[in-house]
Structure 1
Amino acid sequence: MDEWREFAGNVLGMQAVANNPDGVTRFRLDERSYRLEFEEGDTEELTRIGWEVPNAAGLDDVIARLEDDGLKVTRCSAEEAAARDVQGLAQTVDNSGFNLDFFYGQQKSVEPFISPRSASFVTDGMGLGHVVLMTPVFDDALRFYTDVLGFRLSDTMRLGPARVAFLRCNPRHHSVALIEAPEKGIHHFMVEVSEVDMVGRAHDACRDGGAGIMMDLGRHSNDEMFSFYARTPSGFGLEYGHGGVLVDDSTWTVTEIAGPSLWGHRGSMV
């Protein structure tokens, strides 16, 4: 937990929340009360993924769709929702085995967001960033996100024999990507900053001992993100980037991309 506090705050520029629940550390990226939550535990793993819906009717709708797909859904109590700083909360486990939270009405802080590294994050209307998940049930996971949750396919790719699908639910090119893999797990999550120099400063902070670099600076071929990948204290990746494209649903065409990057993103031993 101490390593995460140092990494998220002093390397990435996220703001630690002053008053956290017992055993939990939260970080802000914007006006929301928090975007990331870390819990003390015996293993290093992704605990849950939160998806925001507009309001109570939106939550009822997604619950109905989940139940129609045969998933067990738990409607959390008002007290449980309040402990997470939201007005409404429901939970389920998808067929890949990931815990999913659906919520609305997250609290906004009255205190300004102050980054310890003067970073500003691109979140407005698009959430935290994106998460890339490895799943042994790729076809069913793709069906779930598109047919049940209503995500749109942005494009596809192959990493060797493994299939990859990039899915969006807002103008960001993808909020989730799925990788065909023998076991479930998190590959990486991404946060986007508003200026290219913020990426450079975070990259320098990693090279100065803040974190190992998994992949060096580069630009992706599909979302055009200029970024690098750091190794988090939990061992998986963190993409830190700038300049991702925004998708216009009326003109976007789904394609199969030949490779993940236009240039760079080479493996690094740093």
Structure 2
Amino acid sequence: MVITDTHTHLYSEAFEEDRSAMIRRAIEANVSRFFIPAIDSAYTEAMFQLEKDFPENIFLMMGLHPTHVKENFKDELAHVENMLSQRKFYAVGEIGIDLYWDKTTLDIQIEAFKYQINLAKKYKLPIVIHCREAFDEIFEVLEQEKSDDLFGIFHCFTGTLEQAYKAISYNMKLGIGGVVTFKNGKIDQFINKIGLEHIVLETDSPYLAPKPYRGERNESLYIIKVLEKLSELYGISVEEIADITTKNSKHVFGI
């Protein structure tokens, strides 16, 4: 059984004291594929170090996170473009719109999102979307940019069934993580109406730890709790969920 964590910030400061041990714990439990989203240029070297330390398990993305779209965002986008031109990445992400922390940057968040969508098209890469309190704004951009070569993952999907179908209509898989185990997470009430071919697994570690670890530091090993919950909701084995969602990740990332 191979389990794929399609979204994990393994370079996070939260793992400073036990990063290698934490990654090895996950690998020993068959969580052996880790896709690493970018935040901004400050983390690029740490991402490269992760890849160097675990070359068979770590797959890097490149992008500018919407909460890091600030006054210098054009410099950051230039860094993203420069990195994409130099070496292989597996996605442009995480990118998108976040209106939870700061609504005043909406215009430049949209500009950065569109710019990076077009970089993804140029390099024939998937996008990995961050959406927080911004479904309408994200869908508006996707409607404007939709094309056969726009595809990817709606990371940490927390929307409604209707929004899930809409995301899928734009060639997006749904990234399902710890929220599916929350009593008030709501997606557990309808997720089994979505075909498994549209779903990938993720942790977003160190954030959004699943039950029974909610509120603690999340780590990739805990994706097993997400797997077990989906097995319960879909009524099929953990092994089948792992197999289907790993195949879906290969379809998106090309590896």
The question of a shared fold, defined as TM-score above 0.5 by the shorter chain, is answered with no
* Structure ranking higher on relative contact order (CA contacts 8 Å, 6+ apart): 2
For Structure 1 versus Structure 2, the TM-score category normalised by the shorter chain is 0.3 to 0.5
In our comparison, the structure showing a higher alpha carbon Rg is: 1
Higher-helix-fraction structure: 2
